[in-house]
Amino acid sequence: MNAMEVRDQDVLFWELAHHLVVKNGFQAVHVTNDRKKLWLEKETDKEQFLISLSKIDLAWSRGLGKLMKDNARESQSFKRASLRKNTVYHNLYITSMAPADDWKSTTSEIIYTDAARRKPMQTWLFAASVGAQHGDDIVKFLHLLNAGDHWPSKEEMLHSDDHSRAQKTAHQRQRIVRNIEREQEEAINVFTYGKSRFTYILLVLILMIFVWMEMVADSTNVLALIDFGAKYNPLIDDGEWWRILTSMFLHIGFFHLFMNSLALLFLGTAVERIFGTARFIWIYMVAGIVGSTASYAFTEQVSAGASGAIFGCFGALVFFGVNHRRLFFRTIGRSVIVILLINVIFGTIVPMVDNGAHMGGLVGGFLAAATVGMPDKTYKLKQLGVVPAIAALLVILFAYGYYGEGNDPEEPIVQIQLAQELMEEEAYDEAYDTMASVIDGTAMPEAYFMIGNAAFGREDYEEAESFYQEALAENPDFHEAAYNLALVYSEAGEEEQALEYVERALELEPDNDQYEDLLEELQGA
């Protein structure tokens, strides 16, 4: 290979790269340190094109197949900007001279870019030297990309004197490499705008509150959660609106704390680095408040946790994607979308997940990010128009929670759980009042059973009898209610009826030691 051939190869390589980038809208996304391989991409309304442009020299086609397979695998490291569009892969080789043997049988082989074998990569080989063995038709290739206009012939490319030709090639190379470096600098600047300081403060604060709560109570105890400021709709209805805020810093058990802390560590630090600390605090707090208010509107259960604010970080990253679409999808975009979809689906199919808080936080985080904008964008006063939208959303959610049907559930599971914990503390009057507030609006046998237990604890046996009978009327197989009725009649001295109901309980639940003990006691009497 002589010096002239190397120069011709270099000329064609950078002329083609310059033609695609400068004249036809392709984006140079990566170049190797030796400047022998360049990756280009372009997105149209229907398709995306990913092109690998390489300088190689092979006297024979042996080894060409391995290069093609390696290139196909390498293409997967370049994330595409859309999951919906078809991606078209082209693998271009610029050689000084085409291999002497039958190289076309190798380049015509279909190579797939992924294990699922869905994305074929088409290979082209272009010979640079005038008069060398003919390579593929470069004009034909360019017409496939609708980029065939104004492409110079080899003679036109090589017509200038050596010095002018070298200057032109150097200028083309410098321009393309500088564009890549500029984009890399932009990515670095975007992802390192701020420092992740407040995220770590939040994590420490959340951990300290959890440890404090565990020292004086039990973070899985509903009564303790309510005492510490969890979201509990009846008390919010009574004016304790601050629970919307305090619930963001509580967690229910260690696993809940661990999962939310892990999510906050990764998402919070990313958002704080992209938006800066001041913007992150605004996004986090707004998302958390909107998420908690949405939970109040759509979820009756006692709830706590930072998940609303964490989903707000997802919303902020989506806003970042809207403003930096290429950079978003080339870096974190696909992972963010996949993880977000998994969480949304999980929250939809798992009953105990507070999906209201998640979706509220997601929307709140996006809107909060829209009010402050991206640090590298010029701030526009119209962004302040989003603040009234956030306020209106909060008002609508709160009004729906206060006046809507969500606060009058047909299945008062929260009240039943709360009453159970109150009775464990022998607070029978409070347990009774808790169930009395919802008993008229439900036909749930467990609700009648629980208020019957509260009445029994208050030694109001007549009322307890009535509630147990209601429970059995709703569910004739409710053996616990039958057993408790036996206890009521035993306390009232009605031994015959007590015997009847304990026998019924044993029919429904044979071999229950507690039931058998009561039966023996009554029979002995």
Q: What is the mean pLDDT of residues 201-210?
A: 96
Per-residue pLDDT for 163 more than 70?
yes
Per-residue pLDDT for 131 more than 60?
no
Max intra-chain CA distance, the chain: 121
Q: Is 235 found in the same domain as 346?
A: yes
Res 405: pLDDT = 59
**Cα–Cα distances in angstroms (integers) from residue 210 to residues 11, 121, 182, 222, 225, in the given order:** 66, 54, 45, 14, 11
Q: What is the mean pLDDT of residues 304-331?
A: 90
Instruction: With cut-offs at 50, 70 and 90, classify the pLDDT of residue 148.
Output: confident
Q: Is 235 found in the same domain as 152?
A: no
Q: Which helix (DSSP H) or strand (DSSP E) does residue 29 occupy?
A: strand 27-31
pTM above 0.85, yes or no: no
CATH code of residue 506: 1.25.40.10
Per-residue pLDDT for 81 more than 60?
no
Instruction: Give residues with Cβ within 8 angstroms of 208, minimum separation 6.
Output: none
Which comes out higher in pLDDT, residue 117 or 293? 293
**Which pair of structure tokens corresponds to residue 297?**
């509107």
**Structural domain harbouring 53:** 3-191
Q: Is 64 found in the same domain as 158?
A: yes
Quick check: 43 and 86 in contact, CB under 8 A?
A: no
How far is Cα 345 from Cα 309, in angstroms, rounded to an integer? 18
Domain end among 191, 212, 230: 191
Res 214: pLDDT = 93
User: Strand 120-127 relative to strand 86-95: parallel, antiparallel, unpaired?
Assistant: parallel
Per-residue pLDDT for 244 more than 90?
yes
Residue recorded with tokens 């020292």: 215
Domain end among 135, 164, 191: 191
Quick check: 63 and 97 in contact, CB under 8 A?
A: no
Res 520: pLDDT = 84
Instruction: With cut-offs at 50, 70 and 90, classify the pLDDT of residue 8.
Output: confident
Q: What is the mean pLDDT of residues 315-324?
A: 93
Q: Is 170 found in the same domain as 124?
A: yes
Query: For 427, which DSSP code?
Result: -
Instruction: With cut-offs at 50, 70 and 90, classify the pLDDT of residue 280.
Output: very high
Q: How many CB atoms lie within 10 A of CB 513?
A: 7
Number of domains in the chain: 3
Domain end among 379, 406, 433: 406
Closest CA relative to residue 17, chosen from 53, 71, 57, 55: 53
Q: Is 156 found in the same domain as 130?
A: yes
Q: What is the mean pLDDT of residues 244-266?
A: 93
CATH code of residue 245: 1.20.1540.10
Q: Is 515 found in the same domain as 433?
A: yes
Q: Is 453 found in the same domain as 380?
A: no
Q: Is 345 found in the same domain as 311?
A: yes
Which comes out higher in pLDDT, residue 79 or 447? 447
Per-residue pLDDT for 238 more than 90?
no
Instruction: With cut-offs at 50, 70 and 90, classify the pLDDT of residue 14.
Output: very high
pLDDT over 90 percentage in the chain: 34
- Alpha carbon dihedral 453, 454, 457, 460, in 10-degree steps, equals -100
Res 82: pLDDT = 52
Res 101: pLDDT = 86
Q: Is 418 found in the same domain as 302?
A: no
pLDDT in tens, 343-374: 888 777 766 678 889 999 999 999 999 999 99
Q: Is 125 found in the same domain as 41?
A: yes
Per-residue pLDDT for 4 more than 60?
no
**Cα–Cα distances in angstroms (integers) from residue 370 to residues 147, 194, 275, 365, in the given order:** 38, 18, 11, 9
pLDDT over 70 percentage in the chain: 92
Per-residue pLDDT for 514 more than 80?
yes
Per-residue pLDDT for 320 more than 90?
yes
Query: For 152, which DSSP code?
Result: P
pLDDT in tens, 398-436: 999 888 755 555 567 778 888 888 888 888 888 888 888
**Which pair of structure tokens corresponds to residue 224?**
């303790």
Residue recorded with tokens 């006297």: 59
Q: What is the mean pLDDT of residues 375-403?
A: 87
pLDDT in tens, 457-494: 888 888 888 998 988 998 999 999 898 888 888 888 88
Helix axes 445-457, 413-424, angle to 10 degrees: 20
Highest mean pLDDT among 251-265, 336-350, 412-426, 442-456: 251-265
Q: How many CB atoms lie within 10 A of CB 12?
A: 24
Instruction: With cut-offs at 50, 70 and 90, classify the pLDDT of residue 1.
Output: very low
Res 350: pLDDT = 67
Amino acid at residue number 436: A
Tell me how long the chain is: 525
Q: Is 393 found in the same domain as 296?
A: yes
Instruction: Give residues with Cβ within 8 angstroms of 17, minimum separation 6.
Output: 28, 38, 40, 53, 172, 176
Q: Is 97 found in the same domain as 34?
A: yes
Q: How far apart are the first and last CA of the chain?
A: 113
Per-residue pLDDT for 134 more than 50?
yes
Burial of 456 per CB tally in 10 Å (0-12, 13-18, 19+): buried
CATH code of residue 94: 3.40.91
